[in-house]
Amino acid sequence: MRVLVTGGAGFIGRPTVQILAAAGHDVTVLDSLRPDVHPAAPQVPGGRLVRGDVRDEDLVGTLTHDADVVVHLAAKVGLGVDLGDIVDYVSSNDLGTACVLRVAATEGVAKVVFASSMVVYGEGAYDCPEHGRVAPGPRRPTDLDAGIFDPRCPRCDAVLAPTLVAEDAPLDPRNVYAATKVHGEHLLSAWVRETGGSAVALRFHNVYGPGSPRDTPYAGVASLFRSELAAGRPPRVFEDGGQRRDFVHVHDVAAAVGAAARADTAGFAALNVGSGTVTTVGGLAEALAHAVGGPEPVVTGQYRLGDVRHVTASSARAREVLGWHATTSLADGLAHS
């Protein structure tokens, strides 16, 4: 297969290109090498790197001319909370995706794989003992001060139990970056309806591993813990450390992208890509401390009102549709990154 990978010089892109090339595909990479991501030009083994922007439709047209699949990873990542960056987010992500899809339609590309994110959900999924699946209300400072960190049922006030988010959960993007990922998925759906092509939006969870960028919603807490440990200090864990996340190794994510590029899917599918293992933020701090033989973490009870309490995914649908599942445990992944 001929595959164009946009953003293929990035953290997730590089191992993705390697996996596709190792499977015998002909891989071209289009990457603008954003200076805020790449202080130095990266090596991209396995792919032919073309430096350019996904918003350059002529260039994308030349590169997709005989492509079978476009894997669209290029995006401005970051935290997405500074409104000073809103134009860059919307231009890089929304307009960037629009350009890729327009060219893919003109050139008759049959399949697009898109890097979406767990941030489309906003919060995780919760069950009330009385009312079943409910959307939690905002957490109250009085609860948080009393050490009650789990949100309450909006109908009966019972403390809710976290469960796994499946792809049909309501979308609730809470910042600009998250909004661009939801919009990207909607544009993909429209492309599928108009062209009859197939598209897969992979909702990556917290991706970690070699080359992990800092200052993203995904790596944030792990890179903070690492910096504290590197300075010989114990990692400081907010709340009670019981915040649930899904950390998935970048090699597993790259394998999911490869599987999605090959899979014979029809229409539009959104799939969670997580490890399938629930890790708490406290557990992550412990694992990182053990990996480097550093001091035990300190659980501080401090909180930030806007923090999401739990987001963990069910990745069962990706296993069903792509025949893919993650194989790297957190302990192994941390030991080798």
Known catalytic residue at 303: no
Sheet of 161-163: strands edge to edge?
132-134, 125-128, 161-163
| Binding positions for Zn ion, 134-193, rule CB under 5 A | 153, 155-156, 158
Restricted to residues 85-114, the positions that interact with ligand NAD (CB under 6 A) are: 92, 96
Binder among 3, 11, 63, 165 for ligand NAD (CB under 6 A): 11
Are β-strands 69-72 and 111-117 bridged in parallel, bridged antiparallel, or unpaired? parallel
Minimum CB separation of residue 203 from ligand NAD in Å reads 7
Q: Does an H or E element contain 104, and which?
A: helix 96-106
The alpha carbon torsion through 250, 121, 281, 221 (nearest 10 deg) reads 60
Task: Count other Cβ atoms within 10 Å, centred on residue 212.
Answer: 18
Closest CA relative to residue 268, chosen from 170, 196, 336: 196
Kindly state the smallest distance separating residue 163's Cβ from ligand NAD, in Å.
Answer: 21
Give the whole-angstrom CA distance, residue 76 versus residue 94. Answer: 10
Measure the CA–CA gap between 21 and 3, rounded to whole angstroms: 9
Among 64, 117, 198, 314, binds ligand NAD (CB under 6 A): 117
Q: List the interface residues with ligand NAD, window 27-46 (CB under 6 A).
A: 30-34, 37-38
Q: Which residue is nearest to ligand NAD (CB)?
A: 10
Contacting residues for 307 by C-beta, under 8 A, at least 6 apart:
238, 239, 243
CA distances from 289 to 133, 134, 158, 239, 247 (A): 36, 36, 35, 18, 16
List binders of ligand NAD among 57-86 (CB under 6 A). Answer: 73-77
Between 49 and 153, CB nearer to Zn ion: 153
Return the number of the residue (198 or 272) whose C-beta is nearest ligand NAD: 272
Token output for 211: 């080359």
Q: Which does 156 bind (CB under 5 to 8 A by kind): ligand NAD, Zn ion, none?
A: Zn ion
Binding of Zn ion at residue 130 (CB under 5 A)? Answer: yes
Catalytic residue among 121, 126, 177, 303: 177
Q: How far apart are CA 41 and CA 79, in angstroms?
A: 23
Q: Is 15 in the site for ligand NAD (CB under 6 A)?
A: no
Map tokens 């590089």 to a residue: 14
Does 218 contact ligand NAD by CB under 6 A? yes
The interface partner of residue 206, options being ligand NAD, Zn ion, none and the CB cut-off 5 to 8 Å by kind, is: ligand NAD
The residue ranges that bind ligand NAD (CB under 6 A) are 6-7, 9-13, 30-34, 37-38, 53-55, 73-77, 92, 96, 115, 117, 204, 206-207, 213, 216, 218
In the complex, which residues of this chain contact Zn ion (CB under 5 A)? 128, 130-131, 153, 155-156, 158
- Residues with a catalytic annotation lie at 177
